[in-house]
């Protein structure tokens, strides 16, 4: 009997069934994240804050500072950033509520109600129902809704304890991140590179957004001062913060100054505020900024907008604020760490350039020695 080489055939699952199982698993994961959004959102926000400010620890360690000094500096910076953002939002909301509900604007609101009713009557609208609808406008209710909207941008006030505790633990463990990731790189280099891409692109995104947010805030503040709109500095600060929300952040930052402009100077002043804000948004935030953001993070404008809608639905207002970092993390875990799925990168990016390969916490070791970005072996 002659020897025959029998090839062992491994049965493969049909590709269509693979796709269906993947979609089913994805739906289950998304449902779980949405169910625990009150915890997942603050935890991820804490991680993003530490990732963004982590280079401070590397700088101090390379200059010979003790590890505990670097940790304290990192902790102070992280909590300072968080407190500044929350404080700015609360201050903006309280200033708006206090000013709008003051007696100074009661007569303006009453006059505006009469003007709206007269205009609608001239256009042929039903008088009785219209008057009831106009009279039902309550200035305190409007201010309360605006206050809730501004405070809900981050969506973390109800879970502030979770956020603070997570931030404390992440900061305390930050000293070992680089070392632990180097151990991972020896066995799973693709995972280390994927996490490195997430950290570096997340920092790049916030740097670019901060620069353009500052530019927009300065222009908005100057314009509001020139027009005589109250609390111009507050609304400039709000424009800076809402610039981190892709595509629709401009609208959130526009409503309060437009409302105050209407109460202060009528329809003409409110219209000027809307025109100036819209012009700045179209030129800076809708034309120039997306190009720089796309180059920095490797995501197309369409995907950025879709991610805003998706993560806003999953995690609420906090998901809208963190839409780009969340998408970058999903890209790192689903595409960057797996060589068999990296073909999808050109489909979601603006170009075919590979993302930067670096460790998410590269830059120093515990001994204070510099770690080159290419120290992580490639897959």
Residue 202 has pLDDT above 60, yes or no: yes
> Does residue 10 lie in a domain region?
no
Q: What gap in Å lies between CA 307 and CA 236, rounded to an integer?
A: 26
> Does residue 179 lie in a domain region?
yes
81-97: pLDDT as tens digits: 888 877 777 777 777 67
Identify the pLDDT of residue 370: 42
Question: What percent of the chain shows pLDDT beyond 90?
Answer: 2
What's the domain count of the chain? 1
> Does residue 283 lie in a domain region?
yes
Q: What gap in Å lies between CA 182 and CA 361, rounded to an integer?
A: 10
> Does residue 330 lie in a domain region?
yes
Domain of residue 64: give its range: 32-361
Judge whether 359 and 180 are in contact, CB under 8 Å.
no
> Does residue 157 lie in a domain region?
yes
> Does residue 13 lie in a domain region?
no
On average, the pLDDT of the chain sits at 74
pTM here? 0.72
Q: Higher confidence at residue 94 or residue 197? A: 197
What 3-state DSSP class applies to 328? helix
Q: DSSP readout, 202-262?
A: HHHHHHHHHHHHHHHHHHHHHHHHHHT-TTHHHHHHHHHHHTTSTTTHHHHHHHHHHHHHH
The confidence band for 140, taking pLDDT boundaries of 50, 70 and 90, is low
Residue 132 has pLDDT above 80, yes or no: no
The confidence band for 246, taking pLDDT boundaries of 50, 70 and 90, is confident
284-336: pLDDT as tens digits: 877 777 777 777 777 777 888 888 889 888 988 888 888 889 988 888 888 87
> Does residue 121 lie in a domain region?
yes
> Does residue 231 lie in a domain region?
yes
């Amino acid at each position: 009997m002659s020897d025959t080489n029998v090839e062992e055939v491994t049965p493969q699952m049909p590709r269509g069934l693979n796709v269906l199982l993947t979609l089913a698993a994805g739906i289950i994961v998304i449902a779980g994240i949405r169910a625990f959004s009150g915890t997942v959102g603050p935890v991820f926000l804490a991680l993003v804050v530490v990732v963004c400010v982590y280079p401070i620890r590397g700088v101090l360690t390379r200059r010979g500072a003790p590890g505990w000094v670097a940790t304290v500096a990192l902790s102070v910076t992280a909590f300072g950033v968080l407190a500044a953002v929350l404080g700015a939002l609360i201050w903006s909301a309280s200033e708006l509520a206090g000013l709008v509900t003051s007696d100074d604007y009661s007569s303006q609101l009453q006059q505006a109600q009469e003007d709206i009713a007269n205009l609608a009557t001239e256009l042929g609208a039903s008088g009785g129902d219209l008057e009831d609808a106009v009279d039902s406008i309550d200035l305190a209710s409007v201010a309360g809704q605006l206050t809730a909207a501004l405070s809900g941008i981050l969506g973390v006030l109800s879970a502030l304890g979770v956020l603070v505790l997570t931030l404390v633990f992440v900061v305390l463990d930050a000293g070992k991140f680089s070392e632990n990731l180097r151990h991972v790189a020896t066995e799973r280099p693709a995972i280390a590179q994927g996490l490195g891409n997430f950290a570096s692109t997340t920092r790049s995104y916030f740097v670019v957004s901060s620069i353009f947010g500052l530019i927009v805030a300065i222009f908005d503040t100057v314009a509001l001062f020139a027009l005589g709109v109250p609390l111009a500095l507050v609304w400039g600060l709000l424009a800076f913060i809402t610039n981190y929300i892709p595509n629709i952040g401009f609208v959130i930052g526009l409503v309060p100054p437009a409302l105050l402009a209407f109460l202060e100077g009528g329809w003409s002043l409110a219209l000027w505020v809307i025109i100036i804000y819209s012009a700045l948004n179209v030129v800076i935030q809708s034309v120039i900024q997306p190009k720089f953001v796309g180059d920095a993070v490797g995501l197309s404008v369409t995907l950025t907008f879709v991610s805003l809608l998706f993560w806003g639905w999953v995690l609420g207002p906090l998901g809208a604020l963190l839409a780009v970092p969340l998408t970058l993390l999903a890209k790192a875990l689903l595409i960057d760490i797996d060589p068999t799925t990296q073909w999808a990168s050109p489909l979601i990016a603006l170009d075919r350039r590979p993302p930067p390969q670096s460790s998410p916490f590269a830059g120093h070791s515990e001994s204070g020695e510099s770690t080159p970005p290419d120290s992580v072996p490639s897959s």
